[in-house]
Amino acid sequence: MPIEPVDALRRIAFLLERHRESTYRVEAYRRAAAAILPLGEAEVRRRVQEGRLREIAGVGSSTSAVVEQAVAGRVPDRLAELERTHGGPLVDGGEELRKRLRGDLHTHSSWSDGGSPVEEMVASAMEVGHEYVALTDHSPRLKVANGLTAARLRRQLEVVDAVNAHTGGSFTLLKGIEVDILDDGSLDQDRDLLAQLDVRVASVHSSLRMESAAMTRRMVAAVRDPLTTVLGHCTGRRVMPRKGDKGGEGRSGARVRPPSEFDAEEVFTACVESGTAVEINSRPERQDPPDDLMTLALELGCLFTIISTDAHAPGQLDFLAYGCERAQRLGVPPERVVNTWPREQLLEWARP
């Protein structure tokens, strides 16, 4: 079946991202798609016929071959190859739970350290079948990730409103943040602004080697805060090098990292008592919480936001499969997974 050139380029980028390929390889295809999109089908076809396609800034030899083959009515060779090698299931298991998920509550855009604009993340979320996604870019303290000041976050909320006006109710982009848990357990953003959001994922990103008792107090204070919706990647561990994110391959943060030490029973009990959900972070390099802590949280009665992908690129939205496999294998009931809930039920629960 013929495929439009822009769709072919975007699909190639998506498949590369879901397999954690290097960012520079992905960006070439997304740049080319953005370059030819405003030209329209007739102009792209004319340039192909005249051999002038590569005069367009952002279109190189590999991407022009994709466009030329799509214009000729063929499935581009590069796309066909990736569908064979990268298009299958990411993991065996978890399929039934994955079918019940309605959305994702932890994603990043180019407003902080994500690799794609909000609009591209939304388009891909709709293509994978989501009903809603929370946009949760970082908070101010995380300068290395271009965290959002209060002023920038307010501007982003206007973008979210514009996106939702465009989708017309078929999809909802939820207003959110991944807010840093500061050393004293407070949240790194203006509280009045946090109260305006739909979803607040609170995560530890600094002082990860803090002594266990102090880390426990810090996390308990955060999850008991009425503004905290979700406890994000609770141990902070990294079980394999970080790949496939903007800058991720070369940063010191890409290394393997041990989990933080804290009293998990005390933290998870506080989550149960406050109604704060525990994130099952599906990124392959995180797999956080570990299986033993997931089992403990389950036994204590925690809610889970499963599965949050912590996606920093559109193709990473498919990382849900990894979290679903773990959760289904460990016996997490779907009804305790908040992103299996309809949007209105989710928003009612998440309201401070």
The predicted pLDDT at position 246 comes to 65
Residues 264 and 311 in one domain: yes
Residue 58, SS3 per DSSP: coil
Q: Based on the domain organization, do 296 and 224 belong to the same domain? A: yes
Whether residues 81 and 103 fall in one domain: no
Q: 3-state class of 238 per DSSP?
A: strand
Q: Please report the pLDDT score of residue 250 as a whole number.
A: 43
Of 30, 59, 86, the residue at which a domain comes to its end is 86
| pLDDT for position 141 | 96
52 near 43, Cβ under 8 Å?
no
Same domain for 178 and 76, yes or no, is no
The CATH number covering residue 35 comes to: 1.10.150
Last residue of a domain, one of 53, 86, 119: 86
Q: What is residue 304's predicted lDDT score, i.e. its pLDDT?
A: 86
One domain for residues 73 and 157 = no
193 and 251 part of one domain: yes
Say whether both 133 and 219 belong to one domain: yes
Q: What is the pLDDT along the chain (352 residues), one digit of tens a residue?
A: 689 999 999 999 999 999 999 877 899 999 999 999 999 999 999 999 999 999 999 999 999 999 999 999 999 999 999 999 999 999 999 999 999 999 999 999 999 999 999 999 999 999 999 999 999 999 999 999 999 999 999 999 999 999 999 998 899 999 999 999 999 999 999 999 999 999 999 999 999 999 999 999 999 999 999 999 999 999 999 999 877 676 554 444 468 999 999 999 999 999 999 999 999 999 999 999 999 999 999 999 998 876 899 999 999 999 999 999 999 999 999 999 999 999 999 999 999 8
Q: Do 144 and 241 sit in the same domain of this protein?
A: yes
Cα(120)–Cα(316) distance, integer angstroms: 12
DSSP letter string, 300-338: HT--EEEEE--BSSGGGGGGHHHHHHHHHHTT--GGGBG
Q: What is the pLDDT of residue 168?
A: 87
* The pairing of beta strand 230-231 with beta strand 277-281: parallel
The encoded tokens of residue 56 equal 């367009």
User: 128 and 68, same structural domain?
Assistant: no
CATH of the domain at 163: 3.20.20.140
